[in-house]
């Protein structure tokens, strides 16, 4: 397992676990980051990511990406 911010741009990945506080987990799950789901990195700028999750592009910070394990 590794944090999402280490994923290669363009590769599809399976989400293994979503960590963080209860509030952080709920926020990430509301955006579509759930265990077993797929996520792919569209671009990475200074550690911040734009990702495709559930056919939607979402921008997340490096801190948030660190809570998503693939």
3-state secondary structure of 4: helix
Question: Residue 66: what pLDDT?
Answer: 94
Residues near 7 by Cβ (< 8 Å), separated by ≥ 6? Answer: 13, 39, 40, 41, 70
Q: Domain tally for the chain?
A: 1
Q: Which of these, 48, 60, 46, 55, lies nearest to 12 by C-alpha position? A: 55
CATH number at residue 28: 2.30.30.90
pLDDT at 46 over 90: no
Question: Residue 17: what pLDDT?
Answer: 95
Query: What's the domain range around 62?
Result: 4-69
Q: What's the average model confidence in pLDDT over 34-49?
A: 93
């Amino acid at each position: 397992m590794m944090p999402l911010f280490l994923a290669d741009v363009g590769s599809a990945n399976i989400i293994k676990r979503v960590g963080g506080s209860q509030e952080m987990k709920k926020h990430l799950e509301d955006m579509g980051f759930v265990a077993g789901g797929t996520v792919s990195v569209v671009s990475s700028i200074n550690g911040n990511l734009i990702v495709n999750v559930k056919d939607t592009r979402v921008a997340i910070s490096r801190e948030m990406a660190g809570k998503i394990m693939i």
